[in-house]
């Protein structure tokens, strides 16, 4: 494993401390773009699901007659709304899974360009500390 780290270090830029390399990556335009792209998905998804989740409380609190309207047998609008939250949660999770493929690709580009040696040091350190236990 140490040979792998030596090979990675020998083909990258001159050795810097891990902190300064992470700082360089964090200042890069590619990294800032990655954070912005993630925010474009995460913030609207959070706001939508938060509003959808508390919509049930609002429905029951402000429109109890509508919430208690029977749809099929004893199943009410509020009950269907509550069950739909599971479906919506899985849809949001699935959409994030699809979006994360793009996030991962951008992350790999950043690592390939700026931080391969930093990542390898972390992987080696993690492997070494796990081997001790």
Structure tokens at 48: 């939508």
How many other CB atoms are found less than 10 A from the CB of residue 75? 11
Could you list the residue range(s) of the whole structural domain that residue 104 is in? Answer: 27-118
Structure tokens at 22: 């992470």
State the pLDDT at residue 110. 85
pLDDT tens, 81-109?
999 999 999 999 999 999 999 999 998 88
128 part of a folded domain: no
pLDDT exceeds cutoff 50 at 75: yes
- How many domains does one find in the chain? 1
Displacement of CA 20 from its chain's centroid (Å): 25
15 part of a folded domain: no
5 part of a folded domain: no
Max CA-CA distance within the chain?
72
pLDDT exceeds cutoff 60 at 10: no
133 part of a folded domain: no
68 part of a folded domain: yes
What number is the average pLDDT over the span 23-30?
Answer: 86
């Amino acid at each position: 494993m140490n040979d792998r780290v030596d090979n990675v270090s020998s083909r990258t830029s001159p050795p810097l401390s891990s902190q300064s390399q992470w700082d360089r990556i964090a200042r890069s335009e590619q990294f800032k773009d990655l954070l912005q792209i993630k925010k474009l998905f995460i913030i609207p998804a959070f706001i939508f699901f938060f509003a959808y989740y508390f919509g049930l409380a609002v429905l029951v609190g402000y429109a109890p007659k509508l919430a208690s309207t029977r749809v099929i047998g004893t199943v009410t609008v509020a009950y269907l709304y509550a069950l739909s939250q599971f479906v919506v949660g899985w849809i949001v999770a699935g959409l994030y899974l699809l979006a994360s493929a793009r996030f991962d690709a951008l992350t790999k580009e950043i690592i390939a360009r700026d931080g391969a040696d930093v990542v390898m040091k972390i992987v080696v350190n993690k492997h070494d500390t796990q081997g001790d236990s």
